[in-house]
A and B are shown apart, each in its own frame.
Chain A
Amino acid sequence: MNGFFRVAWLVMRKDLRVESRSREMLFTTLFFAVSCVLVFSFSFVRGGQAVDGAAPGILWIAIAFSGTLALGRAFERERQHDALRGLMLAPVDRPAIYLGKLFGLLLLLAAVEAVVVVMVAFLFQAPLFRHGWMLLALLVLGTIGFASVGTLFSAMLVRTTSRAVLLPILLYPVTIPVLIMGVSGTAALVQPEPDLAMARLWITLLMFFDVVFLVLALWTFEPVMTE
């Protein structure tokens, strides 16, 4: 395996192994996302009928809020035991460390989204699976865009004391376009007459956003982490 991706794989495998033992991030993120959807369902479902157009917004709010929770913890293990210093001292391409952390988070968020999508589809009677592949593309690309920026900001803030406050303040202004694209693309898929052309447009825009932010994050990770 190429050295860069080998390091990313090692970091991701380590994170998943740690998570499989502590289940700290998975449970908190999942619990938060499920609670979010449940609370909204009490407000937006009346007499067994969901308010029109609510499902896409609620789906992406649950993903964004629970994702922020996960991103806040992304570098916490490295910070707590100064393991970040061990990682940064290793003779590896440092962006590979970023990529490994990002992959780990994406898998975690994918697990959460699998539950949330089913819940939203059920509670809001939203035909989310009518164009399943397109929804999958929106979710994958939207999550990559959101998490790629979030992982970089999480790394940037790892040494600051008020990182829990600063992360959402920095993250949301930058990732609002991703969330809007996600909501709009999902809305185009679940409306009574699906607008597939519009959904494809949002998917394309998400791809563009992902490429730009991934490249920027990989490029800036090393200077951001060097004192």
Chain B
Amino acid sequence: MAASETSDFEQVTVSDVSRSYGRRRALAHVSLTCSAGQIIGLLGPNGAGKSTLLGLLSTLTEPSGGKVRFGDRTARQAGAALRAQVGFLSHDLQLYPELSARENLEFFAGLYGLDNPADRVLKALTSAGLGDRADDVVEGFSRGMRQRLALERTLLHSPRLVLFDEPFTGLDEASSDALLGRLGDLRAARRIIVLATHDLDVVDGLLDRAVLLQRGRLRELGSEGTLRERYRATLAEGGDAGRVARLEASVAGASGPSREPRQ
């Protein structure tokens, strides 16, 4: 498919969406609107349904009930052209370690049928700060280098909707700052950005809007206080007092942890 055959949109609307896996309901009647130029934080404990919601937004998962609309069309209506407008950076970086940085990007540029792939790949490598390591295999890269490369792979085709699943995991401060800067650039470029994260302190101040997924249900975070305080308050409202207590204990135990304890 040529890159020009796109299906652009300014808004993604999740309307009363539910998703079940067998008898387990991962999402229940979730509604959410994401607009261009916004960064939406998808927060919540492990197993709350964040990855499921990202899967639905990425078009790779179909809802059991309700609709996800990209502009005025559903994924089924828009088909492959819509996928050209979606970028997804998951915690696993979707790279082939045996291939070089250039080969990884060239492979995906080929799949997306991009014009001038060599130029785009070169630009992406430069943007990732990997110009001098372009022909080294990814296996030998640090986590931060891989993350930068994966981010460029995600953005190679200039998607409208960019989804991030735990993008800050394993990054040092410099890499986190670089990623934050890049997210700000994407917002300025009027992309729709949805970010699932546990790193509340890192993204505090970045998000235009934060929502909490709790046992498959979506709740808007309040507006008073820091992101962590709002997160705790909303979690407690949802009846997760035990989880909040554990969270507070972890904060007391280690100064400024950015993660909620794993279950």
Instruction: Mark A residues whose CB is within 8 Å of B.
Output: 3, 6-7, 10, 14, 17-18, 21-22, 77, 80-83, 85-93, 226-227
Chain A residues within 8 Å of B108, by CB: 86, 90
With A7-B111, A86-B153, A91-B83 given, is the CB distance from A18 to B60 under 8 Å? no
B129: CB under 8 A from chain A? Answer: no
With A3-B1, A82-B94 given, is the CB distance from A227 to B111 under 8 Å? no
B84: CB under 8 A from chain A? Answer: yes
| Binding site secondary structure of chain B | loop
Chain A min CB distance to B40 (Å): 19
Q: Are A14 and B99 in contact (CB under 8 A)?
A: yes
In the assembly, what is the distance between CA of A77 and CA of B60, in Å? Answer: 19
Q: 12 A-B Cβ contacts within 8 A? A: A6-B110, A7-B110, A14-B96, A17-B98, A18-B99, A81-B97, A83-B96, A86-B88, A89-B88, A91-B1, A91-B112, A226-B62
Q: Are A17 and B103 in contact (CB under 8 A)?
A: yes
Out of A7, A10, A86, name the residue touching B94 (CB < 8 Å).
Answer: A86
Chain A min CB distance to B104 (Å): 9
| Size range of the chain B interface in the assembly | 20 to 34
Chain A min CB distance to B152 (Å): 13
Q: Are B80 and A93 in contact (CB under 8 A)?
A: yes
Chain B residues within 8 Å of A93, by CB: 80
Q: Are B60 and A226 in contact (CB under 8 A)?
A: yes
B86: CB under 8 A from chain A? Answer: yes
Chain A min CB distance to B145 (Å): 15
Chain A residues within 8 Å of B84, by CB: 91
With A14-B99, A92-B111 given, is the CB distance from A82 to B90 under 8 Å? yes
In the assembly, what is the distance between CA of A10 and CA of B82, in Å? Answer: 21
